[in-house]
Structure 1
């Protein structure tokens, strides 16, 4: 599986909106908060809106908001919204690849990789990632208070 900048930026943007209480968050604020080039965001946010993961509202009080609750948005949903399939072999879905000779077992491996990747990304929600982040920050604070952190 290849995680492109587009995938990474899409997940970062969704996490930033989720961390902001679900929105609305302006494109320029997302770029600043996450260090995402502002030129990338409009097409990514449009893909996420088309996939019904975001809603948008124009105006000074507008911006992008989550279209679902954070426990109902998986990383797999986000990644599919911006690129389609989660895994490919030479640009093709794993189930369409065939080999001959000594490599005939490879399609089964590629399908397993795809299934494992899909399972992980589909079972990891924005809520899970925000909880993990909060637990990491809490652990860092505790370590610093105890003098264990450099």
Structure 2
């Protein structure tokens, strides 16, 4: 599994959003500074996360981004799918669409098993799980 910078930044931005304790909107600038993410790149990522229903946005001087659901209800899998579409691919194809012949004909089963293992981990890990303990009670 390849974790792109875009996926890494998206997850870091959402965890940071969950970690800000006042519960109000967090500006893209504040998120970028807190996580050392290039602001221009972050704007695109935040738009994707908003379209996926993981963030809400508010315009204006007091505007910014808030989680659309509690951190305990947003999984790493939700974030990765919002950014990448699929959790894993084999030469650009979903694992269930790969077909081999001859002695390699059993490889698709391996790719599917790996895909399911990845899905299991990312679909049971929430943003709340990723917050350091001192931030969990306030998120």
Which SS does the other structure have where 2:45 is aligned?
Answer: helix
Which SS does the other structure have where 1:55 is aligned?
Answer: strand
Which SS does the other structure have where 2:122 is aligned?
Answer: helix
Q: Which residue of 2 aligns with 1:125?
A: 126
Q: Does structure 2 conserve the Cα–Cα contact (< 8 Å) formed by 1:26 and 1:64?
A: yes
1:56 and 1:3 map into 2 onto residues whose CA distance is 26
Task: State the shift of 1:43 in Å.
Answer: 1.1
Larger radius of gyration: 1
Q: Which residue of 1 aligns with 2:113?
A: 112
Task: State the shift of 1:83 in Å.
Answer: 1.3
Matched, 1:59 2:60: yes
Scaled by the length of structure 2, the TM-score of the pair is 0.92
2:81 and 2:24 map into 1 onto residues whose CA distance is 22
Q: Which residue of 1 aligns with 2:34?
A: 33
Task: State the shift of 1:102 in Å.
Answer: 1.3
Q: Which residue of 2 aligns with 1:6?
A: 6
The runs of 4+ residues in structure 1 deviating greater than 4 Å are: none
1:117 and 1:53 map into 2 onto residues whose CA distance is 20
RMSD: 1.1
Task: State the shift of 1:134 in Å.
Answer: 2.9
Q: Which residue of 1 aligns with 2:87?
A: 86
Structure 1: which 5+ runs fail to align? 136-150
Q: Which residue of 1 aligns with 2:137?
A: none
1:39 and 1:117 map into 2 onto residues whose CA distance is 30
1:30 and 1:117 map into 2 onto residues whose CA distance is 27
Q: Which residue of 2 aligns with 1:134?
A: 133
2:63 and 2:39 map into 1 onto residues whose CA distance is 17
Q: Does structure 2 conserve the Cα–Cα contact (< 8 Å) formed by 1:23 and 1:66?
A: no
Which SS does the other structure have where 1:2 is aligned?
Answer: coil
1:3 and 1:39 map into 2 onto residues whose CA distance is 20
1:122 and 1:15 map into 2 onto residues whose CA distance is 16
